[in-house]
Amino acid sequence: MTRRLVTTMLAAWLSAAMTASPQTPTFSSRLEAVRVDVLVTEDGRPVGGLKPADFDIRDEGVQQTVDIVSFEEIPLNVVLAMDISDSVSGDRLDHLRQASQAVLGRLTKSDQAGLVSFNHVVEVRADLTQDTALVQSALDRVQPSGETALVDGSYAAMVLAQSNGRDVRRGLVIVFTDGADTISWLTPDRVLDASRRNDAVVYGVIVRSRSKASFLHELSDRTGGGMFEIESTKDLANRFVAILDEFRQRYLVSYTPRGVSQGGWHRLDVRVTGRKATVKARAGYLAGS
């Protein structure tokens, strides 16, 4: 069922997220086991075949012993967070719908998808579902209007991506916007802080403009995702599909923390030994929350 989110609901939602543990165990908030979603590339191409001994993980600077490395396809929760403000109309809206359809068409039967739209109102138009036709239908019905609540919309999408999951799933959020935030109630700092308690990986796609997308850059960096600035929306479908394909090439690395405290924020440093590889992973996790 569609849920319309006004500012009071967003405030309650954020408060609950800051006091509750994440629902999906991509990484554990207790020091029993920590799971880290990691992308390893060389010359822009994903690296396969890595084993536990290939990873060097530092938890608060303390080297850890990696127990498990998984590279198999794990079901995804893919949430599309779409700017539908006044400026996203005509060709831009058509390209956005086509890009979303391209992503939905590449999901497996075990994956789930959801849709969040944001303008002056944030709306969950499709809860997580394996019926991608419902998500596409919801996107086909949107009509652009109003301003841009980018910060609020990004937060709602992260919450949706980690919900509805008792088994291990990977949460992927693709945020599209063509402009800067103009009306959000939540502050960027509060949402960036909330991302510590959320296991979704955020990728941002923004149409290049004079406005700097510093919030989306930092959110994608903190969650281990990526940020792309495009000149126009003509290639939006290819960009969305490339994000999904890259996300499927990530490792799920697990270790049992040793020599570190049992609470608070834990800074993570993830590297691959013996090769010149680029590693993307979230900045850390919040233990004991």
The per-residue pLDDT for range 134-192, each reduced to its tens digit, is 999 999 999 999 999 999 999 999 999 985 545 678 899 999 998 889 999 999 999 99
Split at pLDDT 50, 70, 90, the class of 69 is confident
Most confident listed range (58-72, 141-155, 195-209): 141-155
Beta bridge partners of 58: 63, 269
pLDDT at 211: 67
Domains of the chain: 3-12+73-248 (3.40.50.410), 25-72+251-287 (no CATH)
Supply the pLDDT for residue 70.
84
pTM given for the model? 0.86
CA distance 235 to 93: 13
CA distance 114 to 94: 19
Whether residue 141 contacts residue 115, with contact meaning beta carbons closer than 8 Å, is answered with: no
Task: Tell which wins on pLDDT, 210 or 169.
Answer: 169
Q: Is-contact 159 17, C-beta < 8 A?
A: yes
**pLDDT of 122 higher than 70:** yes
Instruction: Show the tokens assigned to 35.
Output: 């799971």
Least Cα distance to 172 among 270, 83, 81, 45 occurs for: 81
* 3-state SS, residue 57: strand
Are 124 and 116 spatial neighbours (Cβ–Cβ below 8 Å)? yes
Assigned token pair, 99:
């890009």
Q: What is the mean pLDDT of the chain?
A: 86
